[in-house]
């Protein structure tokens, strides 16, 4: 049986990951492909610890967060029932919402980026994707999409944070360009146009 393809989506909040993942999933299913859709943090016990920390219910240091995301990712790969390796082996295309690029961008900004990078990229049980699609939108554009109903001050604070995250993502992507297939897709266009570009990229794998 032919092994499936491993496709990752990344992007700042509001970049349209969910919409584009929905569209790609439907497109592949229409082609008769088996598809496994997944996301990080996962539903594992470790994923629960991460969500507790992300919502402020518990406190974790930057290194704890980086290590927990890595542990969650390893389990995501090797879980014998619904892991990425298992799904690819069974011939499914795997579409994943966020992966180690998020760790390199977020945790890499909060603790030693070289350590975060090595922990992820040198781990024998963390697979490199066949394709990473970075949906790129300026924070102004993304905030414009979600502007209604928010206080101005809050918007500017968020916008500043999004700008820093985006800059870090672009830096991470540039540093991996020679080693991986990563495509920065302009997400400020109509969703059908973006979808068409993504379908062409996936067809090329
Ligand atoms: P999530 O609930 O998936 O929301 P989103 O729709 O923004 O993807 O939130 C995941 C959060 O976890 C998001 O703010 C990014 C962060 N994150 C990291 O900091 N490091 C990582 O390795 C991953 C996978 C996510």
143-156 b/e (C-beta count within 10 Å ≥ 16 → b): beeeeeeeeeeeee
pTM of the model: 0.94
**Closest CA to ligand 1's atom 10:** 41
The residues spanned by each domain of the chain are 6-203
Task: Give yes or no for a contact between 111 and 63, defined as CB atoms under 8 angstroms apart.
Answer: yes
Q: Which atom of ligand 1 is nearest to the CA of 98?
A: 24
Tell me how far apart the alpha carbons of residues 50 and 58 are, in angstroms, rounded to a whole number.
Answer: 9
Query: How do the pLDDT tens digits run along the chain, 205 residues long?
Result: 899 999 999 998 888 999 999 999 999 999 999 999 999 999 999 999 999 999 999 999 999 999 999 999 999 999 999 999 999 999 999 999 999 999 999 999 999 999 999 999 999 999 999 999 999 999 888 888 777 555 565 666 688 888 999 999 999 999 999 999 999 999 999 999 999 999 999 999 9
Torsion of CA 62, 50, 184, 105, to 10 degrees: 0
Of the candidates 92, 69, 68, the residue with the CA atom closest to the CA atom of residue 82: 92
Cis-peptide, bond into residue 55, ω within 30° of zero: no
CA angle 32, 134, 42 (to 5 degrees): 70
Kindly state the tokens that stand for 33.
Answer: 């492909």
Kindly state the tokens that stand for 171.
Answer: 């830096």
- In this structure, the residues whose C-beta lies within 6 A of any atom of ligand 1 are 13, 40-41, 54, 69, 98, 102-103, 106-107
Tell me how far apart the alpha carbons of residues 98 and 134 are, in angstroms, rounded to a whole number.
Answer: 10
Task: Give yes or no for a contact between 18 and 97, defined as CB atoms under 8 angstroms apart.
Answer: yes
**Closest CA to ligand 1's atom 6:** 13
Kindly state the tokens that stand for 143.
Answer: 């905030």
Which residue matches tokens 């760790």?
103
Q: Which atom of ligand 1 is nearest to the CA of 50?
A: 12
Length of the chain: 205
Q: Please tell me the class of the 6-203 domain.
A: alpha beta
Q: Which of 19, 98, 165 best tests ligand 1's pocket when mutated (most atoms within 8 Å of CB)?
A: 98
CA atoms within 13 A on the CB side of 24: 29
């Amino acid at each position: 049986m032919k092994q499936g393809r491993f496709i990752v989506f990344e992007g700042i909040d509001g970049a349209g990951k969910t919409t584009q993942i929905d569209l790609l999933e439907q497109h592949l299913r229409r082609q008769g492909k088996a598809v496994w859709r997944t996301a990080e943090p996962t539903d594992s016990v470790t994923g629960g610890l991460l969500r507790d920390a992300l919502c402020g219910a518990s406190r974790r240091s930057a290194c704890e967060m980086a290590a927990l995301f890595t542990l969650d990712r390893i389990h995501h790969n090797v879980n014998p029932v619904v892991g990425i390796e298992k799904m690819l082996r069974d011939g499914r295309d795997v579409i994943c919402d966020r992966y180690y690029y998020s760790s390199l961008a977020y945790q890499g900004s909060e603790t030693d980026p070289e350590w975060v990078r090595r922990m992820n990229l040198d781990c024998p049980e963390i697979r490199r994707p066949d394709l990473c699609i970075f949906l790129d939108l300026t924070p102004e554009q993304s905030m414009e999409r979600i502007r209604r109903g928010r206080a101005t001050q809050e918007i500017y604070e968020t916008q500043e944070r999004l700008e820093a995250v985006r800059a870090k993502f672009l830096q991470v992507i540039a540093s991996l360009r020679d080693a991986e297939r990563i495509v920065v897709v302009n997400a400020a266009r109509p969703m059908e146009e973006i979808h068409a570009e993504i379908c062409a990229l996936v067809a090329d794998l």
